[in-house]
Amino acid sequence: MIFLFRNIRCAWFGIGILTLCAPLRADLMLHSRNSQVKIDPSSSTGLYEWTVDGTDIMYQQWFWMRTNSDTRESALGSSTIPLASTKVAGSRAAATYQGSEYTVSVKFTLSGGAPRSMASDLAELITITNTSASLLDLTFFQYANIRFSPSDAVQFLDDHRVQQTSSTLTGQGGVFLNETIVNTDGLVHHQAGVYPNILNSLNDNAVTNLTDASQATGNATWAFQWHKILNPAESFVITKDLNVSDPPSAVPEPSRAVLVATVALFIAVISYRYRSKRASF
C-alpha cells in the first residue's frame, strides 16, 4: 500500500511493521515541436535532459550560489536553498527557492524547431530577491555540461557568450550550441574546463571563483559567475538564452536588441501579474 504525503512517498508493508519513505521527485517536463526538456528542481541534478529530434544533448545544467556569510556554494534545491514551489505548462516552467535571506525564481521557456532541423532554443530568466533587512552580498553560478559527443570544443567568444561545437553528432557542419547572457549586469567571471573540475569546485567545502579560462576540448564543461550586492527588498535579474542549431545558420542567434526587447516585455508582464496577485509564469 502506498500513501502520498505532500513531497514524500511512503510504502507501508504488512500492518505497519515496516514503513519506507523517500522523497517524491516531481520532474518538470517541457515540450515544444521537436524538443523536450526535463528538470529535477529539487536537487543539483537540475536540467538533465534536452532532447532535440530524438537526441539528448544535455547531461547537467544548474545553478549554485553563496552569500558573503557562506563558506561554500550551495545548489538550488539543496537543504540550504530548498525548493518552495513549481509550475509547469506546455513549453514553460518555473521553480521558486527559499533561502534564509533571499528567494530565487527560475523560469524556463522552450522553443523547438521544425522536425529534423536539430534546432531548439531555451530561454532562462532568474530573479534573486533580498528578503532580509540588510544588504545582501551574493555570488551566483550557472554550470553546464552539454554532451554532443565524447570530444566537444568549448570556446568563450567574449565575456557573455559561449559556444560549444561537435563535428560528429549530425550533419557535415556538426552541431552548435550558443549561450548568450542578455543583461550582463553583475557578470564577473567565466570558465571552460574538462569534466568534472568545475563541478567539483562548486560542490567542495571552499569558496569558488571561476578562472576565466576561455576554452576546453574533450568532455568539456563551462560556467558563468555573477556578483551583486542587493539592498533590502531589491531584486537582481539574470536573462540568458541557449540556442542549438545544425548547421549554425539553421537558427540564427537572436540579435541582442531583439533579446533585450523580448526580455523587457517579459519582465514587465511578470511584474504586472505579481502586483495584481494573479498566478502566472
> Minimal CA–CA distance to 64: which of 91, 94, 113, 104?
104
- Below-50 pLDDT ranges, the chain: 1-24, 172, 249-258, 260-262, 265, 267-279
58 and 147 in contact (C-beta within 8 Å)?
A: yes
Q: What is the pTM of this model?
A: 0.83
Structural domains in the chain?
26-275 (2.70.98.40)
State how far the Cα of 124 lies from the Cα of 58, in Å rounded to an integer.
15
State how far the Cα of 115 lies from the Cα of 253, in Å rounded to an integer.
19
pLDDT of residue 149: 85
Identity at 172, one-letter amino acid code: Q
pLDDT of residue 143: 98
Termini Cα distance of the chain: 36
pLDDT of residue 272: 39
> Minimal CA–CA distance to 238: which of 141, 134, 131?
141
pLDDT of residue 106: 98
pLDDT of residue 107: 98
pLDDT of residue 166: 84
Per-residue pLDDT reduced to its tens digit, 38-49: 999 999 999 999
State how far the Cα of 242 lies from the Cα of 159, in Å rounded to an integer.
15
pLDDT of residue 90: 98
pLDDT of residue 175: 80
